[in-house]
Amino acid sequence: MNDKTFALKGICMYSKTQQVIEVMDGYVISADGICQGVYENIPKEFEGITVHDYTGKLIIPGLIDLHLHASQYPFRATGMDLELLEWLDTYTFPEESQYADIEYAKKAYSIFVNDFKNSPTTRACIFATIHKEATLLLMSLLEDTGMKTMVGKVNMDRNCPDYLKEESPEKSIEDTIEFINYARQNYKNTVPILTPRFIPTCSDDLMVSLGKLKEEYHLALHSHLSENKTEIDWVRNLCPDADSYTDAYERRGSFDQSGKTIMAHCVYLTKEEEDLLKRRNVFIAHCPDSNMNLASGIAPIRRYLKKGLNVGLGTDVAAGSFINLFHAMSSAIQSSKLYWRLVDQTDLPLTLEEVFYMGTKGGGAFFGNVGSFEKGFLMDAVILSDDNIQSSKTLTPKERLERIIYLGKDENVISKYVDGTRIEMNEFK
């Protein structure tokens, strides 16, 4: 027995399938950081292990945020008056340029990491900026939390302001390799991921080189795809060789099989693009709050789920305002209802079960066996209290979970475990 062998006692809830949330008032068992399942009573073989008693509280797998920009956190919930491309020029690029200053980066990233610790998220894929030092600083801060993250130094060498443009594809690759090597040597919880911003700001040379790097270094890759109609038209002009935006990534080697790929948004895919993403086992990060804020549209997520695509959720801070992934769950339901009402009634809106699945097991698959309390999954857990949400009604566990998802407050998170280790949250908890 070790520190990672224990039981959590409480009302355990996790996705068995996309349609079913299992609920059991009992114990979820961790043996050396690996989940052994949920039981009404502690099984004989685990008698005597440490029990962390959260009787009456909800215990769920940690939430997985497949897409957010730590560097944009300082301007979250402001600058909501523009569409994507104007929003990048007006708010995003000026803010991201500040991370050339390591003192600014320290101040900004410390605030981000501090808040992030208190969120219900246990694992995340994070954009930083083009700046190698600042990105490594962010990784160092994240490393200390015990949370598991994939962090990317951004690549961009065209169609962006000079103050944020990498001087050449070669220099961008050189910095990226240094970043990868340093991160791999120094961090355990935080691993590097390739992060070309998106095709409009990355030259063909750069994209092709990153594709090769992906294979050579067995790296995952994280980018944006098909978020906004003007963006899609732009890519069509930039990539006359490609059949589609998705195909442009394919032809530049972003989807090879040596590592996994996340594409954020995917609002306007054609059937052929959907097929290609499925063939290449790409993960879609659905970011509904962002897609509303930037007037991008609504991704047809149930169609993707039916088709068997990998779909997880992203907060997409700062185009999304909330670092709390519960908010992405309720936004996903709301926007799917409007899609059903206003666009296409073929597929019904998303259910609570489905968004919970996407925010746990769906996105968790990007990290391996993550996002469930089934046997063999890595032991990530979040303990939720709803003492601060009073009601005159007696609620079922599922209603209590739904209420926490819709109200989306970090204050409901009273404890979290990642990979069998308890995360030290901020003092006000």
Q: And the tokens for 31?
A: 């043996």
Interaction of residue 343 with its own copies, rule CB under 8 A: yes
Question: Residues 1, 338, 424, 429: which binds its own copies (CB under 8 A)?
Answer: 338
Instruction: Give min distance, CB of 297 to its own copies, in A.
Output: 5
- Interactions with its own copies, residue window 217-246 (CB under 8 A): none
Instruction: Give min distance, CB of 182 to its own copies, in A.
Output: 24
Q: Are 118 and 413 within 8 A, CB to CB?
A: yes
Question: Residues 100, 232, 407, 425: which binds its own copies (CB under 8 A)?
Answer: 407
Interface region with its own copies, contact rule CB under 8 A, candidates 237-245, 361-369, 373-381, 386-394: 386-394
| Residue of 210, 183, 212, 213 lying closest to 199 (CA atoms) | 210
Closer residue to its own copies (CB): 8 or 358: 358
Q: What is the DSSP letter of 307?
A: T
Interaction of residue 427 with its own copies, rule CB under 8 A: no
Closer residue to its own copies (CB): 30 or 71: 71
Interaction of residue 333 with its own copies, rule CB under 8 A: yes
Instruction: Give min distance, CB of 58 to its own copies, in A.
Output: 14
Handedness of CA 337, 342, 345, 346 (dihedral sign): negative
Question: Residues 85, 352, 414, 425: which binds its own copies (CB under 8 A)?
Answer: 352
CA gap 401, 394 in Å, rounded: 13
Interaction of residue 334 with its own copies, rule CB under 8 A: yes
Interaction of residue 204 with its own copies, rule CB under 8 A: no
Interface region with its own copies, contact rule CB under 8 A, candidates 150-158, 336-344, 363-371, 415-423: 336-344
- The number of residues that bind its own copies (CB under 8 A) is 51
Closer residue to its own copies (CB): 247 or 410: 410
Note the helical H segments in 187-300.
204-217, 229-238, 245-251, 271-279, 288-293
How does strand 381-384 pair with strand 310-313?
unpaired
How does strand 6-15 pair with strand 261-265?
unpaired
CA gap 56, 300 in Å, rounded: 37
Instruction: Give min distance, CB of 135 to its own copies, in A.
Output: 16
Instruction: Give min distance, CB of 157 to its own copies, in A.
Output: 27
Q: Are 225 and 198 within 8 A, CB to CB?
A: yes
Return the bridge partners of 366, or none. Answer: none
Interaction of residue 115 with its own copies, rule CB under 8 A: yes
CA gap 221, 202 in Å, rounded: 14
Instruction: Give min distance, CB of 340 to its own copies, in A.
Output: 6
Instruction: Give min distance, CB of 78 to its own copies, in A.
Output: 4
Note the helical H segments in 18-101.
84-87, 93-97
Cα–Cα distances in angstroms (integers) from residue 45 to residues 6, 61, 139, 161, 377, in the given order:
12, 23, 39, 61, 19
Q: List contacts with its own copies (CB under 8 A).
A: 74-81, 95, 104, 107-108, 111, 114-115, 292-298, 321-322, 330, 333-335, 337-343, 349, 351-352, 389-393, 395, 399, 402-403, 405-407, 409
